[in-house]
Amino acid sequence: MKQMFSRMIMLLGVMALLLPTGSLQAATKGATLAELHKARQIGCADCHGTAKKITVDDSEKAVNQSCIGCHGNLDAVGAKAKGPINPHKAHLGQVNCTTCHSGHSRSQAYCLKCHTYDMPIPGGAAVVVPMKLKKSAKKVETTDVVVIGAGASGMTAAITAHDAGAKVILLEKQPITGGNSMLAAGGMNAADTKFQKAKGIKDSVELMYQDTMKGGKNTNDPALVRILAQNSSGSVDWLTSIGADISDVGRMAGASVYRTHRPTGGHAVGAHIANVLRKNAADRKIDVRVNSKVVKIVEDKQGRVTGVLVEGKHSGTYTIKAKAVVLTAGGFSANPEKVAFYRPEFKGMTTSNQPGATGDGLELGAKAGGELKDMKEIQIHPTVAAGSRILITEAVRGNGAILINHEGKRFVNELTTRDKASEAILHQTGKSAYLIFDEAIRKSLKQIDGYFHLELVKEGATIKELAAALKMPADTLEASIETYNKAVDAKTDAEFKRPDLPRALRTAKYYAIEIKPGVHYTMGGLKINTDTQVIAKDGKPIAGFYAAGEVTGGVHGANRLGGNSISETITFGRIAGANAAKLAKPAAK
């Protein structure tokens, strides 16, 4: 209650910073942001400019510039706010002001699509009715390459196609770019990289291939897995060359060695990469449009893909003619009906995914003739914080945390593959367990600070104290941790055969997060070949149509290894972008 109260105070503080004096009262009474500004003599032209005809593009660029002109950018606003939860310093990276703030309809914090903070917002309302827009049909546009979906695959494809000389339009249905990739936590798998070599880690393309095939129960498409492994080191180099820091190397479940690349200190990989890709797209002046939902992939009479039909938030329905279309619209973990359709046993389960991961791209691709494969292969991540949508990264286990049930006992090899770890947790009392770690693990991974920030962690100065906080028998928990520590010392886990055993838990304080499995990734999707061409039901590639990332099926088979998703987005995004550009501009580089 005390914490809730302090959050409220902090949020009111943020509101006070954003609003001119006197408007705070109005905000709570329910005026829109435009009305609140008007009450302070800030008129239409201050936000929309002085041009006679007010036109707002779908990305609301001019309006966002006006917000920044008066209030400062996200970093500037974030730096002024105080308190535990600072919405302007969110893990999503640099996003538009209009992602949360709306002028003429009621505003709502985007955070609330996943979190349940008590988060009032100027001009906000608990239930938001979208503004009714007068939509005018746009003329038909023409470009070389259209990319659908601005997660890591889409941004990578767009940048690569642009750099190969193509004119690119990147479309995103959400108000924000980054897709599910911006939530990626643990890192990016790559074999035989310069960062592994610098740390003396011995790895190979063959070993990454074997691990990935084994993790996917050998149902993966071997040719795609070869591409993933062979290109992974090059993709790390490419990301580094455009400004990413992925020099820290950790270990994920199912990997034989340390090969998961992430920012220095163990920060989350996704928000960092999303910001790097956003910046690179902006620096190249690539036409990136948010609030722009593709409703149809257009084909000619021969079945060749020739463009897309778009529903823009402000501009209405319009067509973009393109020589190549790249579909990178992600999976469907945030679509509970679709998940339950393919896997009834997952009905009602939480998800770690962003709200846009609803699988519309799969339907677009299938309607355009693409074949779907492995649709029942849905991954449950073992460690989503109980009662939330917050993923507790596998990197916590990779850095040494263990899993303990409500009776205080270890019950599984913490670094087994996700399907097996999830299954084991679902067999425990309450279908949940505790992730237990100590101060040394906390210090080894920056992301853990975020879980404290979100008040997900219980703690004790001793193991006994922690057991009391978790209401479990202290002697059992002490004995479980002692047995585990001895296994680490002996470098052999006789009980559960955990392969890595990175550190014993001996550094007070001791911590616990209650976790439950949640829907995390959909392995199935559109069938592609090694050139990322979408394959039709007759087994032939569909001309002009490419796909990459979670919208495709085959790379991961029946179970994806942690860290292979970001790897896939960059590698296959680069291939798709290069091939789309080559098709659109055969003479270009």
Residues that bind ligand MEZ (CB under 6 A): 185-187, 252, 391, 393-395, 562-563, 565
CB of 563 to ligand MEZ, least distance (A): 5
Question: In whole angstroms, what is the distance from residue 588 CA to residue 187 CA?
Answer: 33
φ, ψ dihedrals at 117, nearest 5°: -70, 155
Question: In whole angstroms, what is the distance from residue 538 CA to residue 560 CA?
Answer: 27
Residue number with the smallest Cβ distance to ligand MEZ: 186
Say if CB 235 and CB 567 are below 8 A apart: yes
> From the centroid of its chain, how far is CA 259?
20
CB of 231 to ligand MEZ, least distance (A): 17
CB of 551 to ligand MEZ, least distance (A): 16
480 vs 565 by CB, closer to ligand MEZ: 565
331 vs 563 by CB, closer to ligand MEZ: 563
> Distances from the Cα of 188 to the Cαs of 199, 247, 358, in angstroms?
16, 11, 23
By three-state DSSP, how is residue 311 classified? strand
CB of 153 to ligand MEZ, least distance (A): 14
Query: Which ranges constitute the DSSP H helices of 242-369?
Result: 269-283, 336-342, 360-367
By three-state DSSP, how is residue 55 classified? coil
Question: In whole angstroms, what is the distance from residue 177 CA to residue 155 CA?
Answer: 9
408 vs 518 by CB, closer to ligand MEZ: 518
CB of 457 to ligand MEZ, least distance (A): 17
Q: Which residues pair with 510 in a beta bridge?
A: 438, 460
262 vs 458 by CB, closer to ligand MEZ: 262
Say if CB 162 and CB 580 are below 8 A apart: no
By three-state DSSP, how is residue 462 classified? coil
Q: Which of 106, 262, 278, 418 is catalytic?
A: 418
Q: Which two tokens stand for residue 230?
A: 């062979």
262 is catalytic: no
Q: What is the CA radius of gyration of the chain?
A: 24
Please work out, in degrees rounded to the nearest 5, the angle formed at the alpha carbon of residue 463 by the alpha carbons of 457 and 465: 70
CB of 229 to ligand MEZ, least distance (A): 15
102 vs 447 by CB, closer to ligand MEZ: 447
273 vs 391 by CB, closer to ligand MEZ: 391
Which residues participate in catalysis according to the annotation? 418
